[in-house]
Amino acid sequence: MHLLHVAIVLPLMYALFAGLFARWKRTIHTGWFILPLPALLFIYFISILPGVSQAPLFASLHWIPSLNINFDVYADGLALLFSLLITGIGSLVILYSIFYLHTSEKLGHFYTYLLIFMSAMLGIVLSDNLFVLYTFWELTSISSFLLIGFWNHRDKARYGAQKSLLITVAGGLSMLGAFFMLSHVTGTSSIRTLLLQTETILEHPLFPVMLILILFGAFAKSAQFPFHIWLPDAMEAPTPVSAYLHSATMVKAGLYLVARFSMAFTPSDLFFILVTGVGLLTLCWGSYLALKQTDLKAILAYSTISQLGMIMAMLGFGSSTAILGAVFHIFNHATFKGSLFMVAGIIDHETGTRDIRRLRGLLTFMPITATLTLIATFSMAGVPMPILNGFLSKEMFFTAATELAKEGSLQAAVAPYVPIFAVFGSIFTFAYSMFLFFRPFTGSKDEADFPNKPHEAPAGMLISPSILVALVIVIGLFPNLIAGVLLAPATESILGGKAVTDIYFWHGFFNLPFLLSCLVATAGILVYFFRKRLDGMYRILPGKASGNRLFDGLVYSLEAGSSRVNGRIMTGSLTDYFQIILVFFVGVVGYTIVEKMPLDFMSSQLASVEWYEWLILLVIGLSAIVTLFIHHRIALILVIGVTGYGVALLFVMFRAPDLALTQLVIETVTVALFLLCFAHMPRLEKPGKKAPIRKILQIVLSVGVGVIVAVTGISSFRFGDQFEKISAYFLETSYTLGGGKNVVNTILVDMRGLDTMLEIAVLGLAAIGIYVMIKVRDREELK
Amino acid sequence: MEYAVSILAGLLFASGVYLLMEKRLLKVVIGTVLLSHGAHLMILTMGGLKKGAPPLLDDSISQYTDPLPQALILTSIVISFGVTSFLLVLAYRTYKTVKTDQVDQLRGTDDE
C-alpha cells in the first residue's frame, strides 16, 4: 500500500463523514470541513512532482490477482498534471461552493457526491490497470449523474442527469469491450506494459474494432460530436459542479484516455483520421452553436465542447508540438473555463438571472467580476495579447496545424485543409467570447430589469475565480514556469520520448500562426457585430438536424417500440401464449426432424396386429376425434369415458394387468368427477364463429404436434435394441431381492419407491388443494 | 403394432392440443386428459409390445414384457388423475367466481 493508494481512496473514505458533518454543526457550512482534504492532496501531489518528473512512481496492491486485476497505481507526468488539476481546482470549487450554496441546501449530499467524484477522477488518472480504470470511470459517470440531478425536484435536472448517464455509460460499456479485447490481444491488463506492444496491437485484425470502441468511450465522456448533446443539458447542475466536472475534470477524462493510449495508437492512420476529424468537427460545431445560445452557462457549455474538440484534434495530430499544445491547453482551459463558470454563477447569484438578453451594464455594479470576466474571456478567445495563456496555446494549435504536413503522407494530404477548420472554429470562438463579455457588462444600466438588485459579490465568492484568473496571467507571462516541471513530463509520457518544451513567450510579428491569430481576431469582430444576420443560418443548420432531436427520438421510439412489441406479444390471452409455444415446438422440432433425421422404417422386430386390436385402436381414435365436435355435455363425458376404457383394454392386450386395473378405476372416478362438475357449469353451446385464420392455425398446430409425436415414435424404433434393457435385472431380482412375484409392484415399492412416495405426495397435495378451494371460498361466500 | 399405436398416440396428441386451444374451460380440461392418454400409450409402445407374458413371475415362463414402462405409467396415471381433478375443481371455482367459462374473458378479478 503506497501513499498514492491512500490519496485515491481518501476522498471516498472522507465522503462517509460528509453527511455527519452536515448534521453535526448546522451553523458552520459543511464545505469548511471538506476543504482541507483536496488542499492536502494538492500539496501532496506538488511534493511528489519533482521526483516523478525524473522517475515515475509505481505501486501495486492485490485486488483480484486470479483475474489479473490489481489496484496498481502509476504516477507519471500526465497523471500528475491531471491529479493537480483535480485537487487544485477541486479545492477552489469547494471554497467557491461554500459561498454559493446556502446552508439550507442538502449539503451533506452535495459534498458526498463531490468527494466520490474526486476519488473516481483520481482513480482514473492514476490507475495502471485497465479494469480498475474502468471501475473508476463508471464511478465518475454515477457521481456526475447524482450531481447533475442535485436539485432533483426540477424536471430539467432529472432529464439532464438521465441523458448524461445514458450517453456516458453507453460509451463506458463500449470502452469496457475494447479493454477486454486489448487485454486479450496483449496478454496483460497493465496499461504501461500494454502500451509497449504497439506492433502487436496495430497488426491485430481486431484493432479497428478496439479503436472505435475505445474512442466511442472517450468521445462520449469528453462530449465530442455527435455525443456532445449531454453537456449543455448537464448545466442544470449547481454552478460549482459545472465548473468542476463539466469544464475542468470529468470532460477531460476522455482526453486523458486518448492521450494515455496515443503512444500505442498514433502510428495508425485510422486513429489520426478519427481523433483529428472528430476533434475539428467538434471544435467548429461547438463554437458555431455557442454563438446562438442565450443562457450564460449554455454558451460556456458549447464553448467547453469546442475547446475539448480543439485539444482532441491536437492529440490526433500526434506531433510533439501538437501534444505539447494539447497538454498546455488542457491546463489553460481548466484555468479560464473554471473561472468563467464561477463568474457566471456569481452573476446568476447576484442578479437572479442567467439569461444574457436580460443582462446589461453590469460593469458599474460589479467591477471586479467584470475584470475577471474580461481576462478569462479574452484568454479563451485567444486575443493576441501575450499576457493571456489562451493566446499562447492557441498559437501552438495553429503552429501544429500548419506544420502537420511533416508528420506523414496521410497527414500531408489533409494538411492544407486543417488550418481552415482551425481558423473557422477560432473565429466563432472569438465572436462568442466577445459576446460573453460585452453583452452583460456593457450598455446602459437603465434598460436593465433584473430579478434582484445587482451588486458586487461577497469577497469569499471572488477568491477562487481570482486565483484562477491570476494563474491565467502568470502562465501567460511566464509559461516556462510550468513548462519544465509540469508540461514536459506530461508531454513525454504521452509521446514516450524526449520532448522539446520551450514555449516562446513571443514569436515575433511575421510568422504564419500570428498572422492567423490576427485574421481570427478581425473576422471574429466582424462576426460579433453582424451576429444578428446569422439567425437565418441557424435555422438551416442545425435546423431540424440537431443531435437532441435525434437522441429524444431514439429514446422515445425505443420506449414506444418496445411497448408496441410487448403489446403485440403479451396479449393476456392464454390461448395466444399456448399457440406461441406450439409454433416454436412444431417449428424447431419439425425442422430438426426434417433436417437431421432421415426416416427409415424397420419392421422386423415389431409385433403383429390382430383384428380385435385394430378395432380397439379404431374406437379410441374415433372417440378422440369425435370429442372435438361434440357440444353436448353428457355426450362429451361419455365419449371421453370410451377413450379411457379403450386405453384400459389396450393395456389388457399389452399384458399390463396392473395398468388396466388402475386405468379402469381412475377412468370411472374421472368420469364421475366430470359429471359432478358439469352439473354446476353452463351448457356448452355451439361456439361462436372464430376468425378463419385462428381456426386454420388451430388445426395446423394440432395436426403438426400429432404428426411430430407419431413420427418421433415411429422413427425411434430404428435404433432397435442397441442396449441391454435394465428390466432384465428387475425380472431377475424381483423375487430374490424384493420378495415379490409381481414385478411392476416390486419396482413401485422396492426398486423405485421414491417415485411412489412423491406420487402419493402429489395426490395428497391435490386433495388438500381441492379441499381448500371449495371450503375456504365457501366460508367467504357465507359471510 | 408399434407403428399403429404410435399413430394413435399422435392422434390423441393432436386432438388434445386442439382442445387446449378451445375457448371453453371444460374442453381445455378434456384436452389434458387426451394428452395424458397419448403420453401413456407412447411410453408403453417405446418399451416394445407383446413380447411375452405379463410380468408376474412364474417358473414355467421364460419371456416377460418389460415391467419398467408399466411402473412408470402407473405413476403417471395417478399423477395425471390428481392434476385433472384439481383442474376440474379449479374450472368449477373459476366459473363460480368470475361467472364465465370462456378462456378469453379471464383477465383477472378486481380484488386481485
- Is the CB of residue A743 less than 8 Å from the CB of residue A750? no
- Is the CB of residue A682 less than 8 Å from the CB of residue B101? yes
Instruction: Tell me which amino acid residue A414 is.
Output: V
- Among A52, A88, A79, A184, which residue's Cα sits nearest to residue A131? A184
CB < 8 Å to A713, chain B: 2, 5-6, 9-10, 42, 45-46
- Across the interface, which of A647, A682, A742 has its CB nearest the CB of B101? A682
The reported pLDDT for the residue numbered A310 is 93
Strand partners, A77: none
Strand partners, B53: B64
CB < 8 Å to A617, chain B: 4-5, 8
Distance, in angstroms, between A756 CA and closest chain B CA?
A: 7
86-105 of B, contacting A, C-beta below 8 A:
86, 88-93, 95-97, 101, 103-104
Model confidence pLDDT, tens digit, residues A79-112: 999 999 999 999 999 999 999 988 888 888 999 9
Strand partners, A73: A59, A127
- Check CB contact under 8 Å for B81 and A574: no
Q: What grid cell was written down for A557?
A: 421510439
The fraction of chain A above a pLDDT of 70, given in percent, is 94
Containing A189, the helix (H) or strand (E) segment is none
pTM of the model: 0.83
The reported pLDDT for the residue numbered A446 is 62
- Across the interface, which of A707, A731, A762 has its CB nearest the CB of B55? A731
CB < 8 Å to B26, chain A: 633, 636, 677-678, 681, 684
The reported pLDDT for the residue numbered B83 is 93
The residue behind cell 471501475 is A135
Separation of alpha carbons A308 and A318, rounded Å: 16
More confident residue, A496 or A189: A189
Separation of alpha carbons A522 and A518, rounded Å: 6
- Could you count the other beta carbons within 10 Å of the beta carbon of residue A180? 16
Q: How confident is residue A602, by pLDDT bands cut at 50, 70 and 90?
A: low
Distance, in angstroms, between A636 CA and closest chain B CA?
A: 9
The residue behind cell 393432436 is B14
25-84 of B, contacting A, C-beta below 8 A:
25-27, 30, 33-34, 37-38, 40-42, 44-58, 64-68, 70-71, 73-75, 77-79, 81-84
Model confidence pLDDT, tens digit, residues A715-772: 887 766 677 788 888 988 888 988 889 999 999 999 999 999 999 999 999 999 999 9
Model confidence pLDDT, tens digit, residues A147-205: 999 998 999 999 999 999 999 999 999 999 999 999 999 988 999 888 888 888 888 89
- Check CB contact under 8 Å for A716 and B46: yes
Q: C-alpha angle A514/A520/A522, rounded to 5°?
A: 105
Instruction: Please check whether residue A644 touches B, CB under 8 A.
Output: yes
Q: What grid cell was written down for A324?
A: 505539447
CB < 8 Å to A655, chain B: 50, 52-55, 65
The reported pLDDT for the residue numbered A781 is 64
Per residue, the 3-state secondary structure of A532-566, as one string, reads: HHHHHHHHHCCCCCCHHHHHHHHHHHHHHHHHHHH
Cβ partners under 8 Å of residue A671, min gap 6 = A637, A638, A640, A641, A644
Model confidence pLDDT, tens digit, residues A632-667: 888 888 999 999 999 999 999 888 999 999 999 999
Phi, psi of B102 (to 5 degrees): -90, 120
- Could you count the other beta carbons within 10 Å of the beta carbon of residue A624? 26
Q: Is the pLDDT of residue A505 over 60?
A: no
Q: C-alpha angle A296/A300/A302, rounded to 5°?
A: 120
- Check CB contact under 8 Å for A769 and B65: no
Distance, in angstroms, between A702 CA and closest chain B CA?
A: 5
- Check CB contact under 8 Å for B46 and A582: no
Distance of CA A539 to the CA centre of its chain: 32
On average, the pLDDT of chain B sits at 86
More confident residue, B61 or A115: A115
Distance, in angstroms, between A664 CA and closest chain B CA?
A: 11
Sequence-ordered alpha helix ranges (H) in A196-238: 198-203, 207-221, 230-233
- Taking residues A433-450, report their average pLDDT: 78
CB < 8 Å to A734, chain B: 57, 67
The reported pLDDT for the residue numbered A56 is 87
- Taking residues A581-608, report their average pLDDT: 80
The fraction of chain B above a pLDDT of 90, given in percent, is 42
Q: Is the pLDDT of residue B17 over 60?
A: yes
CB < 8 Å to B6, chain A: 709-710, 713-714
Instruction: Please check whether residue A285 touches B, CB under 8 A.
Output: no
The reported pLDDT for the residue numbered A720 is 66
- Taking residues A39-58, report their average pLDDT: 89
Separation of alpha carbons B112 and B93, rounded Å: 15
The reported pLDDT for the residue numbered A658 is 92
Instruction: Please check whether residue A355 touches B, CB under 8 A.
Output: no
- Across the interface, which of A620, A727, A769 has its CB nearest the CB of B68? A727
Q: What grid cell was written down for A580?
A: 406461441
CB < 8 Å to A666, chain B: 77-78, 81
The fraction of chain B above a pLDDT of 70, given in percent, is 94
- Check CB contact under 8 Å for B67 and A727: yes
Strand partners, A59: A73
- Among A650, A571, A566, A546, which residue's Cα sits nearest to residue A607? A650
Separation of alpha carbons A743 and A754, rounded Å: 16
- Among B88, B102, B107, which residue's Cα sits nearest to residue B22? B102
ipTM of the complex as predicted? 0.94
Separation of alpha carbons A716 and A588, rounded Å: 18
The reported pLDDT for the residue numbered A442 is 84
The reported pLDDT for the residue numbered A44 is 94
- Check CB contact under 8 Å for A627 and B19: yes
Instruction: Please check whether residue A750 touches B, CB under 8 A.
Output: no
Sequence-ordered alpha helix ranges (H) in A570-691: 574-596, 611-627, 633-653, 657-678
Q: Which of A601, A604, A709 to mutate to test the interface with B (most CBs of B within 10 A)?
A: A709
Instruction: Tell me which amino acid residue A47 is.
Output: S
CB < 8 Å to B48, chain A: 605, 607, 721
- Check CB contact under 8 Å for B79 and A762: yes
The fraction of chain A above a pLDDT of 90, given in percent, is 44
- Check CB contact under 8 Å for A627 and B30: yes
Distance, in angstroms, between B110 CA and closest chain A CA?
A: 16
- Across the interface, which of B8, B18, B86 has its CB nearest the CB of A702? B18
Q: Is the pLDDT of residue A584 over 70?
A: yes
- Taking residues A253-263, report their average pLDDT: 92
- Taking residues A34-40, report their average pLDDT: 93
On average, the pLDDT of chain A sits at 87
CB < 8 Å to B90, chain A: 773
The reported pLDDT for the residue numbered B65 is 87
Chain A's closest residue to B34, CA to CA, is A624
Chain A's closest residue to B43, CA to CA, is A713
Q: Is the pLDDT of residue A510 over 70?
A: no
The reported pLDDT for the residue numbered A9 is 92
- Taking residues A251-276, report their average pLDDT: 91
Instruction: Look up residue B23 and give its DSSP letter.
Output: S
Report DSSP letters for A3-62, one per residue. Answer: HHHHHHHHHHHHHHHHHHHHHH-SSS-THHHHTHHHHHHHHHHHHHHHHHHHS-EEE---
Separation of alpha carbons A103 and A94, rounded Å: 14
- Across the interface, which of A656, A684, A705 has its CB nearest the CB of B14? A705
The reported pLDDT for the residue numbered A281 is 93
Q: How confident is residue A142, by pLDDT bands cut at 50, 70 and 90?
A: very high
- Check CB contact under 8 Å for B86 and A769: yes
Instruction: Tell me which amino acid residue A455 is.
Output: H
Q: How many helices (H) and strands (E) does chain A have?
A: 34, 2
- Among B75, B64, B39, B40, which residue's Cα sits nearest to residue A727? B64
Q: Is the pLDDT of residue A52 over 80?
A: yes
- Is the CB of residue A191 less than 8 Å from the CB of residue A72? no
- Is the CB of residue B55 less than 8 Å from the CB of residue B74? no
The reported pLDDT for the residue numbered A135 is 95
- Check CB contact under 8 Å for B78 and A662: yes
